[in-house]
Structure 1
């Protein structure tokens, strides 16, 4: 897509997408036995051949997967010559928490390409993790591109540009060879063309596919054969989930607690999962609220017969009254 096309899409009037408008209620917020709020979500699970196993809501219409696209973007980078140690490759797929080992890993990616933090173009921010952010604020530290949760991806994008002799100053431009390669890879694994493009929170392009396409892509990534670039990405995520998320993140617990699984959370309440047998799961909470996302995913996994030691973490969503649990966010309709 051209820069002009992206600009036109940003200003064009839009109808409510089916993934939002047709989403059923899949979670209740219960306070003292009373349903206080409800979250609508669309969810799909696909078989190894890409066919639907479970479909709730508008799963064939496009959404922005946001950071759930990152493992697929990293695949494009590896296909175009990026070579990183496994933990750094997981960091390239990450929305990291901003812990010290994450920041050191980003510095390693940059230095390996002869670059520095000054080359990063992602939006400066505090660390994503609440404890790390509190520490930064106490120490009087300012927002930085290094600390922002997408710095691993941006460092890897820059390193890929260096490998290929591509311009590093314009790597976020949709017409840049790097972004074109990412668009092609996403379309290939999703089995459908990219439907829309816009600017993500970090400043890089974000590309839309359907939830069904996202689930297919993750199933293909997770079931890839030994020796393929896809398997390289999947193994890095499985072996180093803390680099993908952080030590206090539900996505880390999910990967650690479920053999063969890969996953990536995304902003605006997106979650994508791939299993070693080729099944994929993708969901989008219609209102973008994150609190229902892990609860709904756990319920879907249970329905599909997937066992995980992470269910306790995913389903821990207490509703508080005067600082004490008086209810919970619970899945319904699954």
Structure 2
């Protein structure tokens, strides 16, 4: 049944989550799997590091003097903290654009204090609070730099989105014309690929020397290093992405995606890891990823014991009073395989 996690209440099994895992190396070999490693999957926001590639390749990041934290924010599903909002606004201002151009919509930010302050001030939510405002700001800046219409940057036919599609097909070695697209929660195209190819893409980003195009190779290196240099921008306070990269100190870069997707690139081994929880529930995602790392021997010498990161291992189930009444436990064993992920030159 490919169960990856069980949920216990009072020590009694209450629910289970099925899932799929792929672990691929930078030469394109599927080394470990669980469930269906070839499941067609929308990686959702886990694609953001790849969606940021054109920001660097086009010269946009240099034109508008992007710091590491700016590039990291372009890869983010941030919490809407002040530091996130301020930096997203800074990107727009340097590109000569206003917040009204953002097409990401809005939602209550994960950072409760920011939302409470908004209410106290009598102000309404705006798109800058969206967890995707950094990505969208980078897209707008790219359109401005390239002399394209920044008001329609979100449309699939726009050159901004076509450059992203090209980068995804190239990095993940998957036929461009076979990548199915839909619309993500923030209003831009989202891309569906086999889980193993998604993992392969993260492996290639972890070992960018395998990427043929020099400009793309340099862009990937700059982006992943920026994520690890400013992990607080990728997530925020008490967020797994931030906790993971802080604990591994320049070794791992990771990105969550909606509907329970998580992807990691390991700079030390060149491994790419992609997981998908079948029912889309995020509550088991991080416990499963920590267990994948443990089974691979990644971080078992200390990083997985980091207090912030280890809090995501077997997390407690809390009641409305904040009392622990159960826990979530990862429950699977990776299967060792060695098969080649099909490689396609676009």
How does the TM-score come out when normalised to structure 1?
0.89
The equivalent position to 1:37 in structure 2, one of 9, 12, 15, is 15
- Alpha-carbon distance in structure 1 between the residues aligned to 2:314 and 2:232: 20
Structure 1 residue matching 2:110: 3-state secondary structure: coil
By how many angstroms is 1:128 displaced? 2.6
The equivalent position to 1:319 in structure 2, one of 311, 317, 337, is 317
Q: Over residues 224-249 of structure 1, what are the superposed CA-to-partner deviations in whole Å (9 max), with x where a residue is unaligned? A: 25981110001100100001111221
By how many angstroms is 1:223 displaced? 2.2
**Residue 175 in structure 1 maps to residue 193 in structure 2:** no
Aligned to 2:229: 239
| Pairing 1:63-102 to 2, within 5 Å after superposition | 63-83=41-61, 84-102=66-84
Q: Over residues 112-158 of structure 1, what are the superposed CA-to-partner deviations in whole Å (9 max), with x where a residue is unaligned? A: 11111122111122223334334433443322111111000101000
- Alpha-carbon distance in structure 2 between the residues aligned to 1:138 and 1:281: 43
How does the TM-score come out when normalised to structure 2?
0.86
On the 8 A contact 2:54/2:142 being kept in 1, the answer is: no
- Alpha-carbon distance in structure 1 between the residues aligned to 2:81 and 2:58: 29
Q: Over residues 17-40 of structure 1, what are the superposed CA-to-partner deviations in whole Å (9 max), with x where a residue is unaligned? A: xxxxxx610000011221100001
By how many angstroms is 1:52 displaced? 1.1
RMSD: 1.7
**Residue 255 in structure 1 maps to residue 245 in structure 2:** yes
Structure 2 residue matching 1:257: 3-state secondary structure: helix
Structure 1 residue matching 2:289: 3-state secondary structure: helix
Q: Over residues 86-134 of structure 1, what are the superposed CA-to-partner deviations in whole Å (9 max), with x where a residue is unaligned? A: 1100001111110101111011101111111122111122223334334
**Residue 274 in structure 1 maps to residue 265 in structure 2:** yes
Aligned to 1:229: 219
- Higher relative contact order structure (alpha carbons within 8 Å, sequence separation ≥ 6): 2
**Residue 333 in structure 1 maps to residue 332 in structure 2:** yes
- Alpha-carbon distance in structure 2 between the residues aligned to 1:118 and 1:51: 45
- Alpha-carbon distance in structure 1 between the residues aligned to 2:159 and 2:280: 31
Aligned to 1:294: 286
By how many angstroms is 1:75 displaced? 1.0
Q: Which moved more, 1:317-326 or 1:190-199?
A: 317-326
Aligned to 1:200: 184
- Alpha-carbon distance in structure 1 between the residues aligned to 2:194 and 2:117: 39
Aligned to 1:61: 39
On the 8 A contact 1:128/1:148 being kept in 2, the answer is: no
By how many angstroms is 1:202 displaced? 0.7
In structure 2, the CA distance between the partners of 1:257 and 1:331, relative to structure 1 (3 Å rule), is same
Aligned to 1:304: 296
By how many angstroms is 1:301 displaced? 0.5
- Alpha-carbon distance in structure 2 between the residues aligned to 1:317 and 1:130: 21
- Alpha-carbon distance in structure 1 between the residues aligned to 2:328 and 2:33: 22
Structure 2 residue matching 1:124: 3-state secondary structure: coil
- Alpha-carbon distance in structure 2 between the residues aligned to 1:89 and 1:59: 30
Ranges in structure 1 where 5+ consecutive residues have no aligned partner:
1-22
Ranges in structure 2 where 5+ consecutive residues have no aligned partner:
334-346
Aligned to 1:214: 198
How many residues are paired up?
312
